[in-house]
Each structure stands twice: as C-alpha cells, then as structure tokens.
Amino acid sequence: VTDSFQVGAAIERAGTLPASFYSDPRTHDRLRERVFARAWHLAPPAAIPEGRDCAQPHLLLPGVLDEPLLFTRDAEGRLRLLSNACTHRGALVVPAACSGRELRCPYHGRRFGLDGRFRAAPGFEGAQDFPRPADDLRSLPLEARGPLRFFALEPAQAFARWSAPLDARLGHLPLAALRFDPAGERSFEVQACWALYLENFLEGFHVPFVHPALSRALDLERYTVEVLDEAVLQTAEARPSEPAFEAPPGHPDAGRRVAAYYLWLFPNVMMNFYPWGLSVNVAEPRGPRSCAVRYHRFLWREDLLEQGAGAGLDQVESEDERVVESVQQGLRSRLWPGGRFSPRHEPGLHHFQRMLAAAAGGTDARPAAGAP
C-alpha cells in the first residue's frame, strides 16, 4: 500500500487512483483528518432545534469523527453550534435534546449559557486563573444559504470561498424561497467507500446505462460538466416536453432549458436542483468501505415533484447504489490494472480524484489545528 497518490493533470493521459485507495484504513484515517475534520458540513435539518431556549446534541460523522456537537437556540431565536464536551472533564453537557435558558452539565453541575459562555462551576472556589476563556464551550462557525445550514470544525477555507460556486453560478435560483419537506427525508447505508459514491455522482456518463427512466427526461447530447474551484457543476438539459428552468437574460445558461443542476461541493455535498426544488444529499463515510447517504428535500413547486429529471429519485438512488457497490467489489480484484478517464464525460471525476490524491498523499501543507 502506497503513501502517496498521483493522478496526472492531463485527463487524456492520466490513470485513476489505485484500488487500495478505496479500502485502505490508513488512507481512510488521513482523509478523516485532512478532509473531513477541515470540511464544511451540511447540518441535517432535523438536527436544528426549532423552539426557543433549547438545545439538541449532534454527533458529527458517527464512527469516523465522532465529534460531539450541540445546536442551541436562545430566547431571541439565534441559532448556535457549540462543542458538547464539558470543559471540566469532558462529559456530554447535553446528552439528549432539552429546553431551558442555560446548560448544566449532568456530571458535576458546571453551567453555561446557550451561547456557550461559562457561568458557574460548583466546587471551584479557590481555583486560580479560573475561569479562563477556554472554560467556555467552543462556538463553531455556522453559515446559511436559504434554509440550509453549514458548519465546520477547523475549516480549510472560508465559507464564502467554499460556497462561491453556488453563489456565483447558481445565484439566479431563489434559495430563500425553498421550504423543507420532512416527507422527503431518506437515509441509505451503502457498502462502498464514500469516494466511490461521489465518483458516480460526478459523471453523467452512466446515466443512459444505469438510469433508463431518468434518461428519457434528459437531452444527454447537451449535458455539460464544469470544473470549478473545489466544486463541479453538471447541467442537464430537458427533453422538449419536460419541465425546465429558464435562466434570466445575460446568465450563462440563458436560452438553455435546464432540467437539473447537479452541484458538488468538496468533499461530499451534492445539491440537485430541479424545477420543483432542491434535493440535497450527503455521502458520509462510516468506515473505509462503507458510507451512509442522507437526502433532504426542499420545495419551490410541489406540483412538479414527480416530473422530469427530479422524478423517481428513490429508484435512481437504488440504481446508483447497485453500481457503486459493484465497483467496490470489483476493486478487490488482484487483476484490475487501474483505469482511465473519458475526456468527454469524466472531467468532474478526474478533478475529484486529483483533489483526493493531493489530500491523501504527500505532506499536508495546511497548518495543524490550533497552530498560529
């Protein structure tokens, strides 16, 4: 097993990542630290407390990061994300959703505001240099785009830069008008590395082979792939009778009848915009060879829900799972020689593999957490 991975810059000549990339526990550990510990994450809508003066714990990436976090909402409705590890000895401050104007650790009674600020610690009379700022619960960056909430532990890049492809390229879509639809919540366990799930998402090449029903809604001759900074945008145009977006005059997509925008933001956020609204899915690693995929649905036009490219998504998901699990099995082969990229169809996949190779191999140029 190698410690460094190379995917050439020229797609016409580059070879794919080796099979070991998708099963090796050391690679998995490196990606955990270098990618997921530094990534922007999409909060599940159900993780966000709706009431006032309440708190709800959230475990980030169970089995992988296992970071105990806590969403709180105060009397004014302000949402915050805090560390849920008590600054005394580390107990979970809030083991289960609760309401109240302050947080009280069940272990030795230390108290915090809903903003994470230390308030009181019984038994600490006589302690010197106490409390310090580090006795507050850490508050984490939390950002919004429409109804979506994103957060990070130690983000590798500023949110504005990370979300720029969404803001710049799809700024004409009225995100603020999206409404969360709990009936669209889905979660799937996939017996494959999260990266294989993403690779499948990043090419439309397989659509006519794997998704016969979806193919009938799309004009695949006009399917485009744009490699952006740490993102890829795929745009599928509609067949004439199918519902479509119309972009405003002057927009790069003006004149196109867009059935779906498929936007991937590094590492694992997939935003699928359809005329009815947004289906966002996230592939979370569970282990080196398994992941969980969760779907959240937000609506603009419920009447269009089962039309066009955004119809039958459960069917499309099961078709995708089958091929992704098949790849995980095929990669166990001792005989697989390593693959190549289709220059026409797979520039998004190539971009993704180059980013992963850089993250998993060589030295990490980013400063360590907490370094100046």
Stretch that binds ligand FES, among 84-92, 226-234, 277-285, 357-365 (CB under 6 A): 84-92
Phi, psi of 203 (to 5 degrees): -135, 140
Binding to ligand FES by residue 105, rule CB under 6 A? yes
**Token digits for 52?**
């006032």
Residue indicated by tokens 């410690």: 3
Phi, psi of 178 (to 5 degrees): -70, 140
**Binding residues for Fe ion, total number by CB under 5 A:** 1
When binding is defined by CB under 6 A, the residue of 30, 32, 52, 108 that contacts ligand FES is 108
The secondary structure element, H or E, covering residue 212 is helix 212-217
Residue type at 199 in one-letter notation? E
**If contact means CB under 5 to 8 A according to the sort of partner, which of ligand FES, Fe ion, none does residue 89 touch?**
ligand FES
Stretch that binds ligand FES, among 29-37, 107-115, 230-238, 247-255 (CB under 6 A): 107-115
Binding to Fe ion by residue 320, rule CB under 5 A? yes
Stretch that binds Fe ion, among 73-81, 179-187, 217-225, 320-328 (CB under 5 A): 320-328
Taking the complex as a whole, the smallest distance from the CB of residue 92 to ligand FES amounts, in Å, to 9
Stretch that binds Fe ion, among 164-172, 179-187, 191-199, 313-321 (CB under 5 A): 313-321
CA distance 288 to 302: 38
**Binding residues for ligand FES, total number by CB under 6 A:** 9
Binding to ligand FES by residue 110, rule CB under 6 A? yes
**Which stretches does DSSP call E strand in the chain?**
40-42, 54-60, 67-73, 79-83, 98-99, 102-104, 111-113, 118-120, 142-145, 148-152, 179-190, 218-227, 231-238, 245-246, 257-265, 269-274, 277-287, 290-299
Taking the complex as a whole, the smallest distance from the CB of residue 83 to ligand FES amounts, in Å, to 12
Binding to ligand FES by residue 107, rule CB under 6 A? yes
The single-letter DSSP state of residue 328 is H
**If contact means CB under 5 to 8 A according to the sort of partner, which of ligand FES, Fe ion, none does residue 91 touch?**
ligand FES
The single-letter DSSP state of residue 167 is H
**If contact means CB under 5 to 8 A according to the sort of partner, which of Fe ion, ligand FES, none does residue 320 touch?**
Fe ion
Task: Burial-class residue 168 by CB neighbours within 10 Å (0-12, 13-18, 19+).
Answer: exposed
Taking the complex as a whole, the smallest distance from the CB of residue 84 to ligand FES amounts, in Å, to 11
Binding to ligand FES by residue 124, rule CB under 6 A? no
Residue indicated by tokens 């959703």: 97
